[in-house]
Structure 1
Amino acid sequence: MPNKADNGSIDDPECFYCSKNHKLEGLMIEAAKLRVSTLYLNKDQTHQGRCIVAYNRHVRELFHLDPTDLQLFMEDVSQAARTLHEAFQPDKMNYGIYGDLVSHLHVHLVPKYKESAEWGEAFLNAPPSKKMLDPLGYQETIKLIQAKLLR
């Protein structure tokens, strides 16, 4: 069982964000290191540019962060969302913070487009059909994100 500290952080070797294990590699690809988090490209690109911002330490809730880390984390989320908007020009950016099954603090950034899947609805985390890219497609998408991030 994980060892829980007073600040909500836990030592959980089963967490794929902490262990960077094969489950993480099956779902996403690291795109960039941010101030207090990491930006990952989701391998399911049903929504072009879909990414996840994961806090670098294992905490479960936003309120477990001290005020400085909370501000830095939210700045990372905002910077990543701005980057995705510049790179992919979505009609709207959706943000999802859940954690029922994966308790490590992370935010889904899901660019939404008026003429594509789930417009006007919440995005499906596990849609019935997924849009997967070939390795070059992921590499090109990450290069585009990194180029916009560094501006």
Structure 2
Amino acid sequence: MKLESPEYCSLCNPERERILWKNDFVRVISVSDDAYPVFCRVITNQHWVEFSDLSPVDREQIMHVVYSVEKEMRILLSPTKVNIASFGNLVPHLHWHVIPRFQGDPHYPNPIWGDLTGGRPVSPPSGFWEIFGDSLRAYLDNDRI
């Protein structure tokens, strides 16, 4: 099995995902994580492995979407910090993790993949995903990206 192949890629062939916003190039999904209930990913629709494989226009577009997700999270959640990460070691498909962080969350101030610090998950407000999705769509659908 070649991990770089779209045939075996879990982001090219998702079993189930909640899409919050999508265009022809990129999509934003919510991530089901009990410890981080407002975790999002920004994922290219086509199988790209490295950021440098993209055209300048596509690089600008995806970073604008990452920025927009972070901006809307800050407006709606007022987190202590928003972590933005792109690794791809386990899933070599170009994507970004956008994770609002709060003092007292399970790993704070460590990365979410680091050592636990004994905190508790911070629950989103009621109806968060609907409000967030509406806000993100209103912003991105009216933007020239």
Q: TM-score of the superposition, structure 1-length normalised? A: 0.75
Secondary structure of the corresponding residue to residue 127 of structure 2 = helix
Q: Residue deviations 1:35-80, cap 9 Å, x none? A: 7311110111422411100012110011000111001110011011
Residue 26 of structure 2 corresponds to residue 37 of structure 1: yes
5+ residue gaps in structure 1? 3-9
Paired position in structure 1 for 2:143: none
5+ residue gaps in structure 2? 140-145
Contact 1:40 1:51 in 2 (8 A): yes
Match of residue 8, structure 2, among 14, 19, 27? 14
Matched residues in 1 for 2:64 and 2:55: separation? Answer: 14
Give the aligned CA root-mean-square deviation in angstroms. Answer: 2.7
Match of residue 79, structure 1, among 68, 72, 85? 68
Q: TM-score of the superposition, structure 2-length normalised? A: 0.77
Matched residues in 2 for 1:80 and 1:67: separation? Answer: 20
Q: Percent identity?
A: 21
Paired position in structure 2 for 1:144: 131
Paired position in structure 2 for 1:95: 84
Give 1:121 deviation, angstroms: 0.8
Q: Residue deviations 1:60-119, cap 9 Å, x none? A: 011000111001110011011111222222110001111111011000011000122211
Matched residues in 1 for 2:29 and 2:110: separation? Answer: 23
